[in-house]
Amino acid sequence: MCRHIAALTLFAGIAWTSALAERPAFWSAAVPFDPSGRQFHVAPDGKADNAGSQDSPWDLASVLAGTHKLRGGDIVWVHGGTYTGKFDVRLAGAESAPIHICGVPGQRATVLNSTLTVSAPASDVWIWNLEITSSVPPERRATTQSGSHPTDLPGRGGMEVYGGRRCKYINLIIHNNVGGGVGFWKGATDSEFHGCIVYDNGWVGPDRGHGHCFYAQNQEGIKTISNCIMSVPYRGCYTMHAYGSKAAYVDNFVIEDNIAFERGPFLIGGGRPSRGIRVARNYLHGVGMQLGYGADNEDCEVRDNIVPAGLTISRFRKVVEENNIRQVPAAKAVLIPSRYDTTRAHVAVYNGARAKAVPLDVGGFMKDGESFRLLAAKDFFGKPVVEGPCADTKIDVPMSGEFAAFVLLRTP
């Protein structure tokens, strides 16, 4: 296992001896990477000419822009609070030692009313545990202009990933932005979104709703979207929109272990032939899945998805389709552990029988007696749905409808 994803559990009260090695004072979760590199700190009141220590933190914008000449293996802790301004990521780590930009576990670090943009020459940067949202109320997210580029909306927000090689975006919460959630474009290669919650972004025009959870295109390398939870507020918006015109590329995608619910199609395909498409273990409810759009495509694998609202595979020369379920299970709770954070899993619960609770088997993720919090996916910072010690490696998940999505956190 690479050293930067080895899971280490650190708790409050540990003494640290170096100013550059200062750790945050409060832990509530495991740190899922090697913390032996240089340590720096960011705070809402930080300044570019500070020392970068916990007592003299930097500002977020200067860190992301590369002002401080970070190197591979460095870790920058983003402390709780609200961050505003212009944020353009241009950091370059190393393939064997990424730079980590990480919200302090147990604290809420919020990028507000700003777009987080990733551009070349960014590479080998892992961004963790940030909230990206807007204070614009829903009634201001409406326009009288049709189309995708209205000029009368108050900002956009979300993420625009134009570049970056081997970058990862982990456990981000991207919600209620005026524009879409994530733009994941051709210039970003061999990069991944994992464990993110993307919901209620977009705006409504006189023609339809606009703004997707993910709008993605790709040509070289492999783009991965995995273990994410997606939901859109308006008809006309897509949860997954891996799409482009005849001039764009929709190739080499791995889309697996995601949850999409409420509404919004889940589309992979465009006007140019697609190839190298793998779609596995996605859990949809109220969301139809479509592979292929207008072109004659090359190859796809579609395995082990639950797609009660329908699955369409159109105009692929080679198709591998196996074990896809097309109806709502009577009682099925799916645990999807994070690949990078040993304390976190996402949960999809189907409740076709309309029971008051559905049992969730957490064996292999939790042990009897360990504490947990189960959070509604769209209320991550709210009161837990259930919490307490785990008994018999089972959690009874309360249900009021046919489907729900959750985040399960294993806590100290």
In this prediction, residue 14 carries a pLDDT of 23
Of the three residues 237, 254, 275, the one that is the final residue of a domain is 237
Dist CA 133 CA 344 (whole Å):
22
- Distance from C-alpha of 127 to C-alpha of 214, rounded to nearest angstrom: 17
**pLDDT tens-digit profile of 321-377?**
999 999 999 999 999 999 999 999 999 999 999 999 999 999 999 999 999 999 999
Rg (CA), the chain: 21
Structure tokens at 383: 């009161």
Q: Of 192, 207, 237, at which residue does a domain stop?
A: 237
Q: Are residues 96 and 225 in the same domain?
A: yes
C-alpha separations of 202 from 23, 166, 198, 214 in Å: 37, 28, 11, 11
CA torsion sign, 371 to 376 to 381 to 382? negative
Element (H, E) at 126: strand 125-128
User: pLDDT under 70 in the chain at which residues?
Assistant: 1-35
User: Are residues 183 and 37 located together in one domain of the fold?
Assistant: yes
**In sequence order, what DSSP letters do the residues of 132-193 get, joined into one string?**
EE----GGGSB-S--SS--SSSS---SEEE---BS-EEES-EEES-SS-SEEE-TT-BS-EE
The per-residue pLDDT for 32 is: 57
What's the start-to-end Cα distance of the chain, in Å?
Answer: 24
d(CA 371, CA 64): 35
Boundary-marking domain end, from 204, 237, 270: 237
pLDDT for 138: 86
What is the number of structural domains in the chain? 2
Residue the block writes with tokens 């832990």: 27
The reply to whether 326 falls in a domain is no
Tell me which residue range forms the domain holding 82.
3-237
What confidence score (pLDDT) does residue 139 get? 87
What pLDDT is stored for residue 322 in this prediction? 98
Asked whether residue 259 is assigned to any structural domain, the reply reads no
Considering the domain boundaries, does residue 273 fall inside one?
no
Q: Determine the Cα–Cα distance for residues 35 and 73; give it in Å rounded to an integer.
A: 9
CATH at residue 54? 2.160.20.10
Residue 321, domain member (yes or no): no
Would residue 24 count as lying in a domain? yes
Residue 317 lies in a domain: no
Evaluate whether residue 264 is within a structural domain.
no
Query: Could you tell me if 220 and 349 lie in one domain?
Result: no
Q: How many residues are given for the chain? A: 412
Please check whether residue 134 lies inside any domain of the structure: yes
